[in-house]
Chain A
């Protein structure tokens, strides 16, 4: 497969969130603000790209039985880098993301890509696949966050968009709306496909 195709497939056609319903814990939790979603997305892209690269690099050296454990440790190391970076340079965001940065470790997308792709393909391809999956994930996060922040706070990236006339929908800030928004997104995307097949 060409590098560009790898990227497109893992970012959109086989998007982890809406096609495989993976990694939605954090997709739901951080999407009440666009800024948080963007930072989270970048963290996931970073982790996916580098863990994909590393796991693929040593894929022939890992004994089969402890494969998962080794992968988890590699992923956890990169997540620690992300976490320390955020704590050092963006303490505010790090605080509002709370435990969800650490939870990138258990984000099924990363383990899923490691199992499905990085364990079988060349390092560079795995890295591109990782970036692709990360971009697809970030895209979904931003899409949901756009609606939730706009209606919930009347802002986008913290900038006032809707004026004082706008009655804020507090439900958009609360947990249930995250479930509804993701459900609607999956519904919209899957309908044409389900009708065709």
Chain B
């Protein structure tokens, strides 16, 4: 059955959150989530890059890799597309909107190595999404990632001053908070299901 693109969009945000159920993009998730403001910046950058690279990678995969029968090169090609796109975005943003550049600029290089971006492209291929579905999945996953990092940053800011056991402070605590968040998101799983 063809899944409605809108359903995929909603599912990618809530029930199959790229971070909370597929664990992608954890590195920058844990290191940047100290403050809400920078989390918002990174989250928006991820959302933007993820939506567009998914679309580009879809086109590259179906119109170049498949006809030429070089699917096995997909990892290299996808990574190059993502890196080139990030570089391009950085230059365009720097040229036309210095304000936005200061808000997002420092996060852009981080994104090339964010595994969520590559992960979404790979999931899209594995699940055989159509073009519309892919865009919905990319945008939804980006928003889902933004939502997760904002929530974690908010919680971390609240508990910054509180006492925590020494060994747990930092990464350990963030992981536990994320675990509880993931548990809460399991509650959404009744709404819609994608694999």
Contacts and interface: CB of A to CB of B under 8 A. Distances in A.
B74 to A, nearest CB: 8
B146 interface: no
Nearest to B178: A179
Contact of A175 (B21, B74, B123): B21
Nearest to B25: A25
A58 interface: no
Contact of A99 (B76, B112, B123, B183): B123
Please list the 6 inter-chain residue pairs (A to B) with the smallest Cβ-Cβ separation, ordered nearest first: A191-B167, A179-B179, A99-B122, A183-B175, A106-B115, A194-B166
Contacts of A21: 27, 30-31, 171
B65 interface: no
B7 interface: no
Nearest to B87: A69
Contacts of B114: 106
B96 to A, nearest CB: 24
Interface in A62-119: 68-69, 72-73, 76-77, 79-80, 83-84, 98-99, 102-103, 105-108, 111
A98 B121 CA distance: 12
B75 A179 contact: no
**Interface residues of B, dominant DSSP:** helix
B130 interface: no
B113 interface: yes
A167 interface: no
Contact of A28 (B26, B83, B119, B172): B26
B23 A175 contact: yes
B172 A25 contact: no
A19 B23 CA distance: 19
Contacts of A23: 27
Given A102-B118, A175-B21, A186 B172 contact: yes
Interface of B: 20-27, 30-31, 72-76, 79-80, 83, 112-115, 118-119, 122-123, 126, 165-169, 171-173, 175-176, 178-180, 182-183, 186
B76 A29 contact: no
A108 B24 CA distance: 12
B97 to A, nearest CB: 25
Contacts of A177: 179
A189 B173 CA distance: 14
**Residue among A79, A83, A175, A184 with max Cβ neighbours from chain B (10 Å):** A175
Nearest to B166: A194
A182 B172 CA distance: 8
Contacts of A111: 113
A191 B165 contact: yes
Nearest to A171: B183
Given A28-B23, A103-B119, A108-B113, A76 B179 contact: no
Given A77-B76, A80-B75, A111-B113, A187 B118 contact: no
Interface in A23-51: 23-26, 28-29
